Amino acid sequence: MRLLVLDDDDDLRELLCVFAESVGAERCTCAASFEQLRAAANDALSCDVAILDVNLGPAAPSGVDAYEWLREHRFAGEIVFLTGHARSHPLVRRALALPGVRVLEKPIDVEVLRALVQGRAP
């Protein structure tokens, strides 16, 4: 399983990838911004699961923008959003309205992440 992690928090991004690889992920592609995601397009689009932070910072493209870019480029994998915001936040509401995604709250439960990486429904 190949994992894509898009999050503006350096520590969380690294932690997610280290954990994912420790429980069986073949590869973890990391990006801190939408621009880095596009720069790593070949690796990102070949992943099986994308974990996208809903909010990538003020005045920055969001995880929802990344979702749209991934789907426009025929990303066939599962997409999971992470959020530290309430479900009433506008970006979270937009993410919840998208087809075929899950929205998980930070901090992400370790067993949920393990199941995601191992291809088991949590």
- Nearest CA to 98 out of 49, 48, 54 is that of 54
* pLDDT bucket at 101, cuts 50 / 70 / 90: very high
The class of domain 2-117 in CATH terms is: alpha beta
* pLDDT bucket at 2, cuts 50 / 70 / 90: very high
Across the range 44-70, mean pLDDT stands at 95
pLDDT confidence of residue 121: 65
* pLDDT bucket at 39, cuts 50 / 70 / 90: very high
* pLDDT bucket at 47, cuts 50 / 70 / 90: very high
Domain-wise residue ranges, the chain: 2-117
Quote the crossing angle between the two packed helices 110-117 and 10-22, to the nearest 10°.
60
